[in-house]
A and B are shown apart, each in its own frame.
Chain A
Amino acid sequence: AQSVTQLGSHVSVSEGALVLLRCNYSSSVPPYLFWYVQYPNQGLQLLLKYTSAATLVKGINGFEAEFKKSETSFHLTKPSAHMSDAAEYFCAVSDSSGTYKYIFGTGTRLKVLA
């Protein structure tokens, strides 16, 4: 079965610093991978998605993620953190076992310090 692991349930960065949120996946077949963001009291919003077209995926709000097959990773980065980036971030993989359900990681709460 496919799965994702997000390392670090809480990450704090200073405003203007690099944001790095880690996600590792487990899959026996090429996966589809997603990053979603959840702001307080809101639903999940798609940041970006990997569909094998390119290993470096650019998303909204200046975020990007790089698919590394050798490391089974899909880490999310942003060069310069903004206060408005404070939120919870979820990595997800599309299940290719035939059920097509999306498996979500446990989430990483990003705190941006002034």
Chain B
Amino acid sequence: DSGVTQTPKHLITATGQRVTLRCSPRSGDLSVYWYQQSLDQGLQFLIQYYNGEERAKGNILERFSAQQFPDLHSELNLSSLELGDSALYFCASSARTGEGNTIYFGEGSWLTVV
């Protein structure tokens, strides 16, 4: 158990819909990362927050957005869903932001768009 909690674990929704994935980082961790894992794209970095502020952006679509709240939990919002958005979405956290910090992954949220 990494200490990173993600909900829901599984989600099935229809195209065009909107979903919210939630993440609670490890106790004391200030930095949260979101990754998307799919068969064709591998593990793709989406976005990072540190203590409530966006720090880095990766291959995140405009239909997707995220935020980190004052209690440090984070949400990833996915809207106008398409079939290709079906993937495993990981949240990870680390104590600080910066080189060499170990990031700890949650077990992921499986999103299936039908």
The answer to whether A101 touches B56 (Cβ under 8 A) is yes
Can you list, as one digit per residue, whether each of A13-30 has a CB less than 8 Å from chain B (1) or not (0)?
Answer: 000000000000000000
Can you list, as one digit per residue, whether each of B14-53 has a CB less than 8 Å from chain A (1) or not (0)?
Answer: 0000000000000000000101000000110100100000
- 23 pairs, CB–CB < 8 Å, chain A vs chain B: A32-B99, A36-B105, A41-B107, A42-B107, A43-B2, A43-B4, A43-B107, A43-B108, A44-B43, A44-B105, A45-B2, A45-B105, A90-B43, A99-B48, A100-B48, A100-B56, A100-B97, A100-B98, A101-B48, A102-B45, A105-B42, A106-B42, A107-B42
Out of A45, A100, A107, which one reaches B43, CB within 8 Å? A107
Out of A42, A43, A100, A104, which one reaches B42, CB within 8 Å? A104
| Residues of chain B with a CB closer than 8 A to A51's CB | 100
Q: Lowest 5 CB-CB distances: which A-B pairs, in order? A: A99-B56, A43-B105, A32-B100, A44-B105, A104-B43
Q: Kindly state whether residue B95 has any CB partner on chain A within 8 Å.
A: no
Closest to A94 in B: B99
Can you list, as one digit per residue, whether each of B71-114 has a CB less than 8 Å from chain A (1) or not (0)?
Answer: 00000000000000000001010000111111111111000000
Residues 51-110 (chain A) with a chain B CB within 8 angstroms:
51, 90, 94-96, 99-107
The answer to whether A101 touches B45 (Cβ under 8 A) is yes
Distance A73 CA – B44 CA, assembled complex (angstroms): 22
| Residues of chain B with a CB closer than 8 A to A94's CB | 99-101
Can you list, as one digit per residue, whether each of B43-68 has a CB less than 8 Å from chain A (1) or not (0)?
Answer: 10100100000011010000000000
